[in-house]
């Protein structure tokens, strides 16, 4: 969701006349922040500190801070880093260009934080990071009260978009060449509660199946407490809904789940996975897990390991509990020592890495269709492999046989898996007969985007200009 917000910020700036710095010194640097974990605070203030001297040497440069951490810290940001020009929150992303203009005109920092949504973010201009795949928000905010989570207080109560608006945005993406969309919401399967339709999400999935040219539909994230059988049926019966599910577990201990206010128990979670696999046998399931929640005992942690063993996740995002001021969990007794949390975290990741490797090994010899992406693996220079995602979202690095057609980002290739590791698969075709390329509208859109940005449309090369820079900016050396 933060990635999609960054795309909106980029779109707003370009509409206001800004152009990407493209590796050169930037006039404007925007930090889009997250507040879920304490590490985000440290990264933001550390990077702002490094930029102080850079800005002193270049007085015209502007720095803006937005997102969840801005919504939380507000005046603290300007107090700690008075060289920041604009601070805006989660509810008024659209104010970014105006705040920069006012800061420049008034020669002082501009702080604007709203307590409720100004306009639904999807109405704002968006500079998509990809021409072949796009994010589509179906709701913003969250009505849950998980004790560890600060998001509801920063994003507000859930606000749902009408289905027609969502489908129109998807159609526009498809018309521009996209073949894949990911539906976004803090809790996608509670979508529709605001306008009184508890089956609205499954209906939305089925409606996506009627959009010609839309080949892959994904969504994130559902909540186990609200996950219903009609969604499973829609996934199984809608051909372009992918066999992939991200289902946050958080903990396998019923006691910890109760303390987290997660409103489901481990048996309910495992029951959902059983139903999904019964209807969609090839489904790859991923999850989120928190280690070291206050009061977690060794017995509680063992319960998490047991559920992970039974669940056979294809992948998992594992986190050490991060104490966030303002959340109920921050006030709970029995906050665990760092050493205990670290040791448990290492045991969990070792278990999950083993399971992921075992599950990936089951893919050996399978024929899979891969949507080629612009990004290649870290060793692409050595291996000369390209990369993409299978229908179940597994990462596949593949080679192009000598003399065979090289695909463009957005095209599809069908290959046989020849190697498996914990975090990726490899396909090295024995020859052209073991390798099929399907050129797509998305590949054509990639070529057009390269031409429009003065890039050279080299087949399979991910050398185009990125729409959004994700992560921390490179800080140039101070000029003399």
401 has a pLDDT exceeding 70: yes
Number of structural domains the chain divides into: 3
351 has a pLDDT exceeding 80: yes
Same domain flag for 310 and 397: no
Same domain flag for 224 and 349: yes
Give me the CATH number covering residue 300. Answer: 3.80.30.20
Cis ω for the linkage preceding 221 (within 30 of 0): yes
The pLDDT confidence band at residue 124, using thresholds 50, 70 and 90, is low
Using an 8 Å Cβ cutoff, are 80 and 44 in contact?
no
129 has a pLDDT exceeding 70: yes
Whole-angstrom distance, CA of residue 317 vs CA of residue 288:
5
Q: What is the pTM of this model?
A: 0.84
Give me the CATH number covering residue 75. Answer: 3.40.50.12160
Whole-angstrom distance, CA of residue 96 vs CA of residue 102:
10
What order of strands is seen across the sheet that includes strand 216-220?
A: 133-137, 180-184, 216-220
Binding-site annotation: residue ranges: 142, 146, 149
Same domain flag for 175 and 72: no
Encode burial over 399-438: b for 16+ CB neighbours within 10 A, e otherwise: bbeeebbebbbbbbbbbbbbebeeeebbbbbeeeebbebe
Whole-angstrom distance, CA of residue 154 vs CA of residue 140:
11
Same domain flag for 205 and 313: yes
pLDDT value at position 123? 66
Largest CA distance in the chain: 66
Q: Is 58 helix (H, G, I), strand (E, B) or coil?
A: coil
430 domain-assigned: yes
Using an 8 Å Cβ cutoff, are 248 and 257 in contact?
no
Same domain flag for 126 and 79: no
Q: Tell me which H or E stretch contains 245.
A: strand 244-246
% the chain with pLDDT above 70: 92
Give me the CATH number covering residue 401. Answer: 2.40.50
Whole-angstrom distance, CA of residue 151 vs CA of residue 154:
5
Residue 292: domain span: 121-361
Residue-averaged pLDDT of the chain: 90
| End residue of a domain, out of 112, 139, 159 | 112
Strands 62-67 and 28-33, by their bridges, are parallel
pLDDT value at position 310? 98
317-330: pLDDT as tens digits = 999 998 888 899 99
Whole-angstrom distance, CA of residue 250 vs CA of residue 185:
18
4 has a pLDDT exceeding 80: yes
CA angle (5, 140, 192) in 5-degree steps: 145
Binding-site annotation: residue ranges for [4Fe-4S] cluster: 142, 146, 149
365-387: pLDDT as tens digits = 999 999 999 988 777 777 889 99
pLDDT value at position 5? 86
């Amino acid at each position: 969701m933060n990635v999609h917000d960054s795309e909106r910020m980029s779109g707003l700036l370009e509409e206001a006349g800004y152009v990407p710095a493209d590796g050169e010194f930037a006039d404007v640097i925007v930090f889009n922040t997250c507040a879920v974990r304490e590490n985000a605070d440290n990264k933001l203030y550390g990077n702002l500190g490094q930029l102080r001297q850079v800005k002193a040497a270049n007085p015209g440069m502007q720095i803006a801070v937005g997102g969840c951490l801005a919504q939380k810290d507000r005046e603290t940001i300007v107090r700690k880093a008075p060289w920041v020009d604009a601070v805006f929150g989660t509810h008024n992303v659209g104010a970014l260009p105006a705040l920069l203009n006012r800061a420049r005109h008034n020669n002082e920092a501009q702080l604007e934080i709203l307590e409720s949504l100004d306009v639904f973010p999807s109405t704002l201009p968006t500079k998509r990071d990809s021409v072949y795949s796009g994010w589509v928000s179906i709701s913003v905010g969250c009505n849950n009260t998980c004790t560890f989570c600060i998001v509801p207080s920063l994003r507000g109560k859930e606000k749902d978009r009408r289905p027609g608006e969502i489908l129109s945005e998807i159609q526009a993406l498809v018309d521009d060449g996209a073949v894949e969309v990911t539906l976004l919401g803090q809790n996608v399967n509670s979508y529709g509660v605001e306008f009184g339709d508890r089956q609205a999400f499954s209906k939305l999935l089925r409606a996506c199946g009627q959009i010609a040219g839309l080949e892959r539909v994904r969504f994130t994230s559902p909540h186990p407490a609200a996950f219903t059988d009609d969604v499973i049926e829609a996934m199984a019966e809608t051909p372009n809904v992918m066999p992939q599910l991200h289902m946050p577990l958080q903990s396998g201990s019923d006691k910890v789940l109760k303390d987290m206010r997660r409103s489901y128990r481990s048996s309910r979670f495992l029951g959902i996975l059983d139903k999904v696999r019964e209807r969609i046998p090839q489904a790859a399931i991923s999850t989120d897990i928190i280690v070291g929640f206050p009061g977690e005992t060794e017995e509680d942690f063992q319960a998490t390991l047991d559920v992970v063993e039974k669940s056979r996740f294809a992948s998992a995002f594992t986190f050490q509990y991060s104490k966030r001021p303002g959340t109920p969990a921050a006030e709970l007794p029995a906050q665990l020592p760092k050493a205990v949390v670290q040791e448990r975290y290492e045991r969990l990741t070792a278990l999950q890495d083993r399971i992921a490797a075992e599950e990936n090994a089951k893919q050996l010899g399978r024929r899979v269709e891969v949507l080629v992406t612009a990004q290649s693996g870290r060793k692409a220079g050595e291996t000369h492999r390209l990369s993409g995602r299978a229908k179940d979202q597994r990462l596949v690095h593949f080679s192009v046989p000598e003399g065979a057609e090289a695909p463009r980002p957005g095209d599809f290739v069908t290959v046989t898996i020849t190697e498996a590791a914990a975090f990726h698969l490899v396909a090295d075709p024995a020859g052209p007969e073991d390798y099929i390329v399907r050129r797509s509208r998305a590949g054509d859109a990639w070529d057009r985007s390269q031409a429009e940005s003065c890039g050279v449309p080299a087949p399979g090369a991910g050398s185009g200009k990125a729409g959004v820079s994700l992560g921390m900016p490179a800080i140039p050396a101070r000029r003399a």
